[in-house]
């Protein structure tokens, strides 16, 4: 009996997803009953699959094969399935009728996760504090997957930033308690999908199979285990989506279904990176096309999202991922380079299926109008984006100016004030993701020339400004690094993430005095923020900067928090009478870092020092 049960478990796992004895593969690999997206286009890939003379048949209650789509490449066929609400979970057989023989392709129809999207796919809000991790560089929890036989990139050298280092998903899971102690409530991971490219695969942005979690990170089981562990701790997880391009070795590039699967040009054409062409009323049509349809690099071919087969492939993969793994939301890479009408379709499909899910797009542009064009905004213009939010590069440039430029009419901290004053363009600015650096940029501690006061002030701003704060791994102890000569230098290993590391900065004992000062500053504010209604959902009021001093308030009916930042090169005395509009009714104030409570009184601040006070009656 025991042997029979083991055999039954084996069969169920064997037929869990698409499979046939002929070696053909289906994309998506399976689907679910009870989904709103019930018209599923299944791409079958395999040797001359379209040449099945007798065609394809399905005999499964509640599932109708509506159309068989044959395309230019006979190695592909696209089947349009209609899955009725009456369909039950089980193994659907796609019968392939060849002239001399026939065979079945098994395609699983699964039951949905408990809650049908109501107790997962919860998104991130202004109550969250996100932590960005490059998995290959954070922690190596399973050395057995450092190299995977058969994969093109067999590098494993920690003495160079150009190769893989061996970090993985188990390594992240091992340090969830550490992240919670820091005040983190959500993780955003750089891409986890298979990147079977010959080199520079540590970053993950060149997919080669959408339906495989990279085995060097631990594969599907390690990913699911991590997500379950994150959710068990009341935290959330955001996956990195790349719709714009794939890796050169993606199976649909090496064996294209049709010529226009990719954006094709007479000669190689790189994107011009000019986002202005998307909305320029005087712009060139050709330059707009180059922006949107040009390739990101020669190693990352540009997907043609105008092609309905490509669009279905990408949208269905996004839905599949949420249901398969139970992720909470998406960060969308290179948002401006996608077909924006396609992105609206994809975003809508996700929200229709998962009402609480959130999406924020990478908008590496300059100018509030440029950025706001790509998200839900208050403009009356022909194109209306439904993207909820973006990575807020405009406030990033502004806090950089505040920390590195002298105070002036529109320079220094006035740039930050002016940028936030333009929030009226956004439908909901509290959804904007604020940050100081990421995997593509110089570490902020290097940007401010390793000035601890400037860095602590920037961290204070990060956790008290409107929006959703996001930090990059290692920023909690002021990691340094610039993108010159290579972006790998901002992707250094987390000390202590590998056996034998000289220092282990996951523990207090492994940190220097400076490390601990920064860590404690951040953790104190982040954990205070968790229970502060004023900082997470309260209103925002800023006062015009004077003499380099910037003061703003976060407040609601039950709490008022005052933030004071001195960006001048000299000490400043701040007279609170100027801020009576928000301080009236309060007689005391509590420094949230020291815990000291004093009367409401004027304050002296050192150069580039900042303070956070909760006002008390």
* Same-domain pairing of 180 and 148: yes
Residue 595 structure tokens:
């815990």
Residue 325 structure tokens:
């793994």
* Same-domain pairing of 228 and 131: yes
Residue 208 structure tokens:
């080669």
Considering the domain boundaries, does residue 609 fall inside one?
A: yes
Q: Find the CATH number of the domain harbouring 595.
A: 2.60.40.1180
Residue 252 structure tokens:
């649909």
Considering the domain boundaries, does residue 395 fall inside one?
A: no
* Same-domain pairing of 544 and 518: no
* Same-domain pairing of 137 and 199: yes
From 352, 346, 358, select the one nearest 312 (Cα to Cα). Answer: 346
In the numeric block, the tokens 């951040």 are attached to 522
- 531 to each of 301, 537, 554, 559, how far by Cα in Å? 45, 11, 14, 11
Considering the domain boundaries, does residue 172 fall inside one?
A: yes
Mind listing the pLDDT tens digit for each residue in 29-54? 999 999 999 999 999 999 999 998 88
Considering the domain boundaries, does residue 503 fall inside one?
A: yes
* Same-domain pairing of 133 and 237: yes
The three-class DSSP label of residue 13 is helix
Considering the domain boundaries, does residue 314 fall inside one?
A: no
* Same-domain pairing of 465 and 563: no
* Same-domain pairing of 67 and 91: yes
From 173, 112, 163, select the one nearest 141 (Cα to Cα). Answer: 173
Whole-model pTM over 0.85: yes
User: How far apart are alpha carbons 104 and 100 in whole angstroms?
Assistant: 14
End position of a domain, from candidates 55, 86, 110: 110
Mind listing the pLDDT tens digit for each residue in 316-362? 999 999 999 999 999 999 999 999 999 999 999 999 999 999 999 99
Largest CA distance in the chain: 91
End position of a domain, from candidates 78, 110, 142: 110
Q: Please, are residues 165 and 201 in contact by the beta-carbon 8 Å criterion?
A: no
Considering the domain boundaries, does residue 506 fall inside one?
A: yes
The answer, yes or no, to whether residue 579 has pLDDT greater than 90, is yes
For residue 241, is it left (φ>0), alpha (ψ between -120 and 50) or beta?
beta
Q: Find the CATH number of the domain harbouring 474.
A: 3.20.20.80
Q: Which of 240, 275, 339, 362 is catalytic?
A: 362
pLDDT of residue 339: 98
End position of a domain, from candidates 42, 76, 110: 110
Q: Which of 202, 214, 333, 401 is catalytic?
A: 333
* Same-domain pairing of 45 and 104: yes
Considering the domain boundaries, does residue 391 fall inside one?
A: no
User: How far apart are alpha carbons 605 and 310 in whole angstroms?
Assistant: 57
Confidence of residue 100 (pLDDT cuts 50, 70, 90): confident
Q: Is 362 a catalytic residue?
A: yes
* Same-domain pairing of 493 and 593: no
Over residues 508-528, the mean pLDDT reads: 98
Percent of residues, the chain, with pLDDT higher than 70: 96
* Same-domain pairing of 93 and 145: no
**Structural domains of the chain, count:** 3
Residue 402 structure tokens:
């505040």
To 10 degrees, what angle do helices 393-404 and 413-421 make? 160
Q: Is 333 a catalytic residue?
A: yes
* Same-domain pairing of 23 and 83: yes
User: How far apart are alpha carbons 328 and 119 in whole angstroms?
Assistant: 10
In the numeric block, the tokens 């994809």 are attached to 346
Mind listing the pLDDT tens digit for each residue in 378-390? 999 999 999 999 9
* Same-domain pairing of 28 and 103: yes
Range of the domain at 61: 15-110
Looking at every residue in the chain, the average pLDDT score rounds to 95
According to DSSP, the β-strands at 236-241 and 186-189 are: parallel
Considering the domain boundaries, does residue 364 fall inside one?
A: no
Over residues 239-261, the mean pLDDT reads: 98
Strand order in the sheet with 25-27: 25-27, 39-45, 76-83, 63-70
Confidence of residue 19 (pLDDT cuts 50, 70, 90): low
Confidence of residue 11 (pLDDT cuts 50, 70, 90): very low
The answer, yes or no, to whether residue 4 has pLDDT greater than 60, is no
Over residues 101-105, the mean pLDDT reads: 91
Mind listing the pLDDT tens digit for each residue in 149-171? 999 999 999 999 999 999 999 99
From 114, 333, 110, select the one nearest 228 (Cα to Cα). Answer: 114
């Amino acid at each position: 009996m025991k042997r029979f049960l083991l055999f039954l478990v084996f069969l169920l796992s064997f037929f869990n997803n698409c499979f046939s004895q002929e070696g053909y593969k289906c994309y998506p690999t399976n689907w679910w009953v009870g989904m709103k997206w019930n018209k599923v286009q299944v791409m079958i890939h395999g040797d001359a699959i379209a040449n099945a003379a007798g065609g394809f048949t399905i005999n499964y209650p509640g599932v109708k094969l509506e159309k068989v789509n044959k395309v230019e490449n006979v190695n592909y066929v696209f089947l349009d399935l209609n899955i009725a609400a009456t369909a039950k979970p089980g193994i659907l057989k796609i019968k392939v009728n060849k002239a001399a023989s026939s065979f079945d392709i098994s395609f699983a129809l699964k039951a949905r996760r408990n809650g049908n999207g109501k107790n997962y796919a919860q998104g991130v809000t202004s109550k969250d504090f996100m932590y960005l991790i490059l998995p290959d560089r954070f922690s190596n929890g399973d050395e057995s997957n450092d190299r995977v036989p058969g994969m093109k990139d067999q590098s494993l050298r920690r003495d160079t930033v150009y190769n893989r280092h061996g970090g993985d998903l188990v390594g992240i899971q091992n340090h969830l308690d550490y992240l919670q102690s820091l005040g983190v409530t959500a993780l955003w991971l750089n891409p986890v999908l298979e990147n079977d490219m010959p080199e520079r695969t540590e970053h993950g942005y060149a997919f080669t199979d959408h339906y495989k979690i990279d085995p060097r990170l631990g594969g599907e089981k390690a990913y699911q285990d991590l997500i379950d562990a994150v959710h068990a701790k009341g935290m959330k997880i955001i996956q990195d989506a790349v719709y714009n391009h794939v890796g050169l070795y993606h199976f649909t590039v090496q064996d294209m279904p049709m010529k226009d699967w990719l954006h094709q040009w007479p000669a190689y054409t790189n994107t011009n990176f000019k986002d202005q062409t998307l909305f320029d009323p005087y712009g060139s049509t050709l330059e707009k096309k180059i922006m949107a349809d040009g390739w990101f690099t020669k190693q990352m071919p540009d997907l043609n999202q105008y092609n309905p087969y490509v669009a279905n492939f990408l949208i269905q993969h996004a839905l599949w991922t949420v249901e398969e793994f139970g992720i909470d939301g998406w960060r969308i890479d290179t948002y401006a380079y996608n077909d924006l009408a396609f992105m609206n379709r994809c975003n809508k499909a996700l929200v229709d299926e998962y009402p609480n899910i959130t999406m924020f797009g990478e908008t590496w542009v300059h100018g509030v109008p440029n950025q706001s064009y790509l998200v839900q905004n208050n403009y009356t213009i022909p194109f209306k984006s439904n993207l909820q939010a973006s990575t807020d590069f405009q406030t990033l440039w502004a806090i950089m100016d505040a920390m590195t430029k002298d105070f002036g009419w529109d320079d220094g901290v006035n740039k930050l004030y002016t940028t936030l004053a333009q929030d009226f363009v956004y439908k909901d600015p509290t959804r904007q993701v604020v940050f100081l650096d990421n995997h593509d940029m110089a570490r902020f501690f290097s940007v401010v020339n390793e000035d601890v006061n400037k860095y602590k002030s920037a961290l204070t701003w990060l956790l008290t400004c409107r929006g959703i704060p996001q930090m990059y791994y290692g920023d909690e102890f002021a990691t340094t690094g610039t993108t010159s000569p290579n972006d790998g230098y901002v992707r250094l290993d987390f000390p202590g993430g590998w056996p034998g590391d000289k220092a282990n900065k996951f523990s207090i004992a492994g940190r220097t005095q400076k490390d601990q000062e920064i860590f404690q500053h951040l953790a104190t504010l982040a954990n205070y923020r968790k229970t502060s209604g004023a900082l997470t959902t309260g209103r925002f009021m800023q006062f015009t900067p004077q003499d380099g001093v910037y003061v703003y308030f976060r407040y609601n009916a039950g709490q008022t928090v005052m933030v004071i930042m001195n960006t001048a090169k000299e000490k400043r005395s701040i007279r609170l009478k100027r801020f009576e509009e928000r301080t009236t009714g309060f007689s005391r104030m509590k420094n949230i870092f020291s815990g000291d409570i004093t009367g409401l009184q004027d304050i002296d601040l050192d150069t580039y020092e900042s303070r956070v006070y909760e006002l008390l009656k």
